[in-house]
Amino acid sequence: MSSERLYYDDAYTMRFRARVAAVGTHRDRPAVELDRSSFYPESGGQEADRGTLGGARVVDVQAEDDARVWHVLDAPDPALPEGAEVEGEVDWTRRFDHMQQHTGQHILSAALERELAAQTVSSHLGEERSTIEVPLAAIDWRAVERVERAANRIVWEDRPVERHWTDAEGVKRFALRKAPQVQGRIRIVEIPDWDVSACGGTHTRRTGEVGSIKIVGWEKLRGNLRLEFLCGARALTDHAWRTEALVEGARRRTLKDRDLIAQLERAADERNELRKRLDGLAERALEVECRERVGDPPRAVADFAATRPREEVRRFVIKCLEAGAPWAVAGAGSPDPVVVIGSAKARSGDLKTLLPGLLERARGKGGGSPDLVQVAAADATAAEDAWRWARAEVEALVGT
């Protein structure tokens, strides 16, 4: 059967009574169908309502292609037999949040079209953030500011949000932002002199209830831009933590709020310059260490460090070879247990033949070339065991 959807004409009544029309499952979860319901099923980019039904918790609401609406319950045996009268209650906090986001999306989509000639390709109203996809190659904060000012002006003017019912013929008298995707009875949501859309979602009675609209970011997607936005209580919550972060960040550096970004950029430049200098000093120190370990005349090097970064272990082996070592075997127990073996290209022997034995003892994975092999070990003990084995095997394979 097709349930009567009470939210179409009244999205504010949270309690209702209905009759259980059918008992079944939806995607292997217990569910019931009602003859009438205020619960909004997930559709049109809007999340489903939550609430209670006869003492059972409604954890999802889904509409099927045949217009049947299933209320998915958390109880395996909700004791709601077919034909029973039941009271339902919609979670108002979640419902009003969705109403704010959905009405805000209509307002914002119209603002994007009016200010930037950017029609909405798609939209999604998420649990935490909502998105609108538009065919723009790029955008900046000044353009965002224009769009937000236009959208929030409509919010603050507290215009009515009107609903109309019509059909395929009657819809022609409405200047819709996008052609309807449904047949039969068509529901029109209108914000006078701003936006007219065919929509089956839940909306506020007036634009003022949206509170505010804020775009918080964007990303490129399939040649378009996907804008993230927040409305109402979500926007207030987001503004609160961002303000706290900005004000506290500036206060701790004894700066004005607006000077924080410039100071952070300077600090990042200084850090990068210091990192370059530190890397250069570390590289020279490693070269000196390797030359001392190789000596004159050159000798093979075997080294296992309790702590040495994986990439530094690899560079240690390579620089020992560059300093004249016939071969070098190095390892580290942390932060990433590893064993690296290398031999001078002029020496005989293929180090890859040692891989099976290395992998077995290291209990890890790795690979390499005839002259350089690297293996990641399961832990520090396995790395040291593999290193001891490799030291003897390389000497036997390559010679001294």
DSSP string, 233-249: HHHHHHHHHHHHHHHHH
- Are the C-beta atoms of residues 131 and 104 closer than 8 Å to each other? no
For the segment 310-321, the average pLDDT, to the nearest whole number, is 95
Is 46 a residue whose pLDDT tops 80? yes
For the segment 192-208, the average pLDDT, to the nearest whole number, is 95
For the segment 169-180, the average pLDDT, to the nearest whole number, is 85
Helix (H/G/I), strand (E/B), else coil: 232: helix
Q: Who has greater pLDDT, 347 or 104? A: 104
Tokens representing 292 are 């001392």
Tens digits of residue pLDDT in 135-154: 999 999 999 999 999 999 99
Structure letter (DSSP) for residue 252? H
Tens digits of residue pLDDT in 57-90: 999 999 987 678 999 999 766 678 888 999 999 9
For Cα atoms 376, 284, 268, give the angle at the middle one, nearest 5 degrees. Answer: 80
Of all residues in the chain, the percent with pLDDT exceeding 90 is 75
Tens digits of residue pLDDT in 81-127: 888 999 999 999 999 999 999 999 999 999 999 999 999 999 999 98
For the segment 195-213, the average pLDDT, to the nearest whole number, is 96
Q: What is the pTM (predicted TM-score) of this model? A: 0.72
Q: How far apart are the C-alpha atoms of 215 and 179, rounded to whole Å?
A: 26
* Closest to 147 in 3D by CA, of 65, 25, 229: 229
